[in-house]
């Protein structure tokens, strides 16, 4: 799936390979800065964390990361608070937070708004778990505080026409593209070296502009049997487990995407910065937990996708000069391949339309798969995997493309024209270190 995180992990026989950059330090419970000033929001923040953990007892995907006090997690597991009671507690907590005057300091005001927005999404998730049915757009608004634009088939036709001219061979475009891409698959015996090279390069580039804790680290694993392509499980103490799914062949272009999105400056960096600046320095315990189905995910996924461009403005050249030789692929074919992949990326919203129609009942499963094949240019196997993702995560799909576009628009407004690369990194770093939500990007 995404490109994300979690607290507890079970390793299975799906593990194909494992590589680690140093021994991972033992996660430590977050501690507040000795200079921390108590806030009237602190008790509400603690209650919020406990409510998220309580919802997690009813939804195994809900708590994506948690590194707060172990006693709170144990308490949630023992209590098994019923959904109606969670909903009542959430409504009462909203009133408590609303009663706190809006702080004059902008960051503190953002904190108050963060708690209210996250609680609204939590309440919506509780209603869904209790049986309430929402349309795709209603769900995305309720959970992620955003609605993706609608696209017609005609809006994808121009991109398809451009690809039709680029992709060689006979037959339908989706079949031709799949055949073409098969020439750029990373051999299984090269997966570790190629993916590690891309992650190490994205890390090197990021650390030139972003200060992370000296002990930050990650573990890299290759797995199978998942509905997603890559995942970041953040474990606290600036430590991540990055998993890459090898159910389907991995194309060379994906190595850059996964490295930047899952690692640097994507999910690993986002979570490490929140932990450092908001949890450890300010003692804001609400950031020790990450509820997946919440507005945080639009920021997380959107910034991770935008971060690919920040870290690799020269992605084509890097792929050609470094990754192609490592994978044993012909660098002379790289430029044409990169043009195809960059143009294909403009079809990302086709997944939203398939998900919207499928979840709203206007497309059957077969029709949604066919839409993904025709307008998303996926192979039937990849379209089937995408539908498995949609079955599990539903409207979450908007966070990748709409999230990326909202972050890009925010960056353009904040940076202005003619800004230096360092200025881009500065604004991006500030975004990743803040309690920003979708409303702050508009």
Question: Considering the chain, what percentage of its residues have pLDDT values greater than 90?
Answer: 90
Q: Nearest Cα to 218, choosing from 202, 70, 141, 56?
A: 202
Q: What is the mean pLDDT of residues 80-104?
A: 98
The reported pLDDT for the residue numbered 6 is 32
C-alpha–C-alpha distance, residues 135 and 143, integer Å: 12
pLDDT tens per residue, range 134-153? 999 999 999 999 999 999 99
Bridge-partner residues for 248, per DSSP?
Answer: none
Mean per-residue pLDDT for 357-381? Answer: 97
Q: What is the pLDDT of residues 218-253, one digit of tens each?
A: 999 999 999 999 999 999 999 999 999 999 999 999
3-state secondary structure of 18: strand
Average pLDDT of the residues of the chain: 92
CB 415 within 8 Å of CB 91: no
Distance CA 109, CA 114 (A): 9
149-168, pLDDT tens digit by residue?
999 999 999 999 999 999 99
Q: pLDDT by residue (tens digit) across 272-283? A: 999 999 999 999
- Our CA dihedral for 441, 139, 118, 80, rounded to 10 degrees, sits at -160
Average pLDDT on 65-94 reads 98
* Alpha carbon separation from 280 to 16, 71, 155, 389 (Å, rounded): 35, 19, 47, 34
Span 305-349, pLDDT tens digits:
999 999 999 999 999 999 999 999 999 999 999 999 999 999 999
pLDDT tens across 18-41, in order?
A: 333 333 344 444 444 445 778 999
CA angle 411, 416, 421 (to 5 degrees): 70
- Give the span between the Cα atoms of 24 and 37, in whole angstroms: 32
For residue 418, the model assigns a pLDDT of: 86
């Amino acid at each position: 799936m995404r490109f994300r995180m979690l607290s507890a992990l079970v390793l299975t026989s799906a593990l194909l390979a494992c590589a680690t950059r140093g021994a991972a330090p033992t996660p430590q419970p977050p501690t507040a800065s000795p200079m921390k000033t108590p806030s009237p929001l602190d008790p509400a923040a603690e209650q919020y964390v406990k409510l998220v953990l309580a919802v997690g007892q009813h939804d195994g995907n809900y708590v994506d990361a948690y590194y707060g006090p172990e006693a709170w997690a144990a308490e949630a597991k023992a209590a098994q608070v019923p959904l109606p009671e969670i909903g009542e507690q959430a409504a009462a907590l909203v009133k408590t937070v609303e009663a706190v005057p809006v702080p004059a300091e902008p960051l503190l005001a953002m904190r108050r708004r963060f708690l209210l927005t996250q609680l609204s999404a939590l309440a919506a998730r509780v209603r869904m778990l209790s049986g309430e049915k929402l349309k795709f757009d209603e769900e995305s608004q309720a959970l992620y505080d955003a609605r993706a634009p609608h696209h017609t088939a005609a809006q994808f036709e121009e991109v398809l026409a451009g690809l039709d001219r680029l992709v060689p061979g006979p037959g339908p475009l989706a079949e031709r593209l799949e055949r073409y891409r098969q020439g750029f698959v990373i051999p299984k015996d090269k997966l570790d070296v190629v993916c590690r090279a891309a992650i190490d390069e994205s890390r090197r580039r990021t650390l030139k502009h972003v200060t992370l804790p000296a002990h930050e680290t990650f573990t890299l694993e290759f797995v199978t049997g998942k509905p997603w392509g890559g995942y970041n499980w953040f474990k606290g103490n600036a430590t991540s487990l990055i998993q890459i799914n090898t159910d389907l062949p991995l194309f060379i272009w994906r190595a850059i995407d996964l490295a930047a999105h899952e690692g640097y400056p994507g999910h690993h960096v986002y979570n490490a910065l929140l932990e450092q600046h908001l949890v450890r320095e300010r003692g804001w315990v609400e950031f020790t937990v990450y509820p997946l189905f919440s507005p945080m995910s639009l920021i997380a996924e959107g910034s991770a996708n935008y971060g690919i461009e920040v870290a690799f403005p020269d992605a084509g050249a890097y792929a050609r000069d470094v990754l192609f030789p490592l994978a044993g692929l012909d660098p002379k074919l790289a430029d044409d391949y990169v043009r195809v992949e960059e143009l294909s990326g403009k079809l990302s919203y086709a997944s939203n339309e398939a998900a919207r129609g499928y979840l709203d009942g206007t497309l059957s499963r077969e029709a949604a798969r066919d839409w993904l094949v025709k307008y998303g240019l996926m192979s039937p196997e990849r379209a089937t995997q995408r539908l498995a993702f949609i079955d599990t995560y539903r409207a979450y799909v908007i966070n990748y493309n709409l999230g990326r576009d909202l972050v890009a628009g925010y960056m353009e407004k904040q940076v202005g024209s003619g800004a230096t690369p360092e200025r881009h990194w500065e604004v991006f770093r500030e975004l990743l270190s803040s309690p920003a939500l979708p409303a702050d990007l508009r």
